Amino acid sequence: MDFEIVRGIVLLAATLTTGLVAGLFYAYDMSVMRGLARAEDRTFVDTMQRINVAILNGWFALAFVGAPVLTIAAIGLHLGPDARTVVLPWTVAAFVLYATMLAITAVVHIPLNNQIDKAGPLDEIGDFAAVRARFETRWVRWNIARTATSTGAFACLAWSLVLFGGL
């Protein structure tokens, strides 16, 4: 297989997986969390606990972990004298933006998700409003930041594809 084709395929795969993750966060911002904002406290806590379990699946992991791995691979494949170096700054920018999203996830969202899970089973939670209050505002605010950074990463990779000649 021609090395240029490999470069293009890896860049396309990085773009697609990053787009899937950005789309997931956008869907949360535009629908899931807005819908839950109208729900009662018990329903909110129950739903977030269930989502925390459901999202830990192979398909999510493939995109979430695959995006930065493929972006790093795309960077590596575009190093060297025969590479289209015009793609490199945009691909590096995409990685930095995605890494920022990963940091937000690690510092804000994972601890908040763990906190709402540790509140316990529904029949053992005494104050659903308090559990929700410690979670919702911060989770929603920082998810907007994740949406912005992952969408920025997607845009950088999409532009890299244009510069590469893939579109």
Q: What is the pLDDT of residue 81?
A: 78
Tell me the C-alpha distance between 121 and 56, whole Å.
19
Q: What is the pLDDT of residue 83?
A: 73
How far, in Å, are 19, 46, 87, 117 from residue 15 at the CA level?
6, 34, 13, 32
Over its length of 167 residues, how does the chain's per-residue pLDDT go in tens digits?
Answer: 688 899 999 999 999 999 999 999 999 999 999 999 999 999 999 999 999 999 999 999 999 999 999 999 999 999 987 777 899 999 999 999 999 999 999 999 999 999 999 999 999 999 999 999 999 999 999 999 999 999 999 999 999 999 998 55
CB 146 within 8 A of CB 103: no
Please, is 53 exposed, middle or buried when counting C-beta atoms within 10 Å of its C-beta (0-12, 13-18, 19+)? exposed
Contacting residues for 77 by C-beta, under 8 A, at least 6 apart: 3, 6, 7, 10, 11, 83
Residue type, 31: S
Summary count for the chain: helices (H), strands (E): 8, 0
Look up tokens 């940091």; give the residue. 103
Q: What is the pLDDT of residue 3?
A: 87
Residue type, 144: I
